[in-house]
Amino acid sequence: MVERVGADWSPEVYGRFEDERTRPARDLLAQVPRGAARRVVDVGCGPGNSTELLVERFPSAEVVGLDTSPAMLAEARRRVPRASFAQADAESWLPEAGTDVVFANAVYQWVPDHLAVLPRQLEALEAGGVLAVQMPDNLAEPTHVLMKEVAASGPWAQRLRHAAREPLRPVRVYYDVLLPYARRLDLWHTVYNHALADAAAVVEWVKGTGLRPFLDPLTPEEQRDFLDAYEQRIAEAYPAAHDGKVLLRFPRLFIVAVR
């Protein structure tokens, strides 16, 4: 996950749901139509869970992980010594010559101008190069709707008025901007239903990602108040199933474009 300006990401918090977070990366990689590659770049590599998959899939390739979070990069280097890692911003980075796969799992939703960035990256690839992207498309889910409600209802409302990220555009928009540079373009949605322990686990999940822009501007005391109010609403929105667990519904958009 690429770091947001002003705060670093926590590999520990992010890794509490590693299996669930890695599942979309596995599904995305399964649709990359290449048997071999010279250079593979994992944009927004986070703690290296997706980079690990790329090393396994392309054992003869040079695999590079990019992120802006020093903490995430440190964990990725420890976890995947076979790959190399560098600090880079997903918004300005472009693939260099010889790059055959650009892989980006759950990062470009944080880049406001990604509709301009993704076509530039695809255009920079050589013929046969692959741009593979997955982005959460979940802002209409209770997790994110309730973030905005709590943000608007507390003493922090003014500070958090711009905390929410912009929703993804309709699929047709991505199709239209990428099609001029692609000889093959595949777009689809998958909805995951993650069985989590309880409402508190749902809060823990989003603390590592979507809640960051809401919590970072607050004092520690305000963060506790925000989380208390948020968890109460989450408990109402996610009732327990027969076994006591709650189901976190999570839609994601997938894009695989071949240059």
Q: What is the DSSP string of 41-61?
A: EEET-TTTHHHHHHHHH-TTS
d(CA 4, CA 88): 12
**Owner of token pair 């929410």:** 164
pLDDT at 16: 74
Cβ neighbors of 163 (< 8 A, separation 6 or more) are: 147, 151, 213, 214, 217
Phi, psi of 214 (to 5 degrees): -85, -35
Tell me, yes or no, whether 4 lies in a domain: no
CATH of the domain at 84: 3.40.50.150
Closest CA to 135 of 245, 3, 255: 255
Q: Beta partners for 84?
A: 64
pLDDT means over runs of 10, the chain (259 residues)? 44 72 96 96 96 98 97 96 97 97 97 97 98 98 98 97 96 98 98 97 93 96 97 97 97 98
d(CA 241, CA 130): 40
Written as one letter, the residue type at 14 is: Y
3-state helix, strand, coil in the chain (%, to 5): 40, 20, 40
Tell me, yes or no, whether 1 lies in a domain: no
Pull the structure tokens for residue 6: 């002003």
Q: How many CB atoms lie within 10 A of CB 23?
A: 16
How many domains does the chain divide into? 1
Tell me, yes or no, whether 20 lies in a domain: yes
In contact, 82 and 55? CB cutoff 8 Å: yes
Tell me, yes or no, whether 5 lies in a domain: no
Tell me, yes or no, whether 6 lies in a domain: no
Tell me, yes or no, whether 192 lies in a domain: yes
Tell me, yes or no, whether 183 lies in a domain: yes
Range of 53's domain? 11-258
Tell me, yes or no, whether 44 lies in a domain: yes
What is the gyration radius of the CA atoms in the chain, in angstroms? 18
d(CA 177, CA 170): 12
Pull the structure tokens for residue 145: 């709707």
Q: Provide, rounded to the nearest whole percent, the portion of the chain with pLDDT above 90.
A: 92
d(CA 137, CA 32): 21
Pull the structure tokens for residue 57: 């899939």
In contact, 58 and 37? CB cutoff 8 Å: yes
Phi, psi of 100 (to 5 degrees): -105, -25
Strand 130-136 relative to strand 246-258, pairing: antiparallel
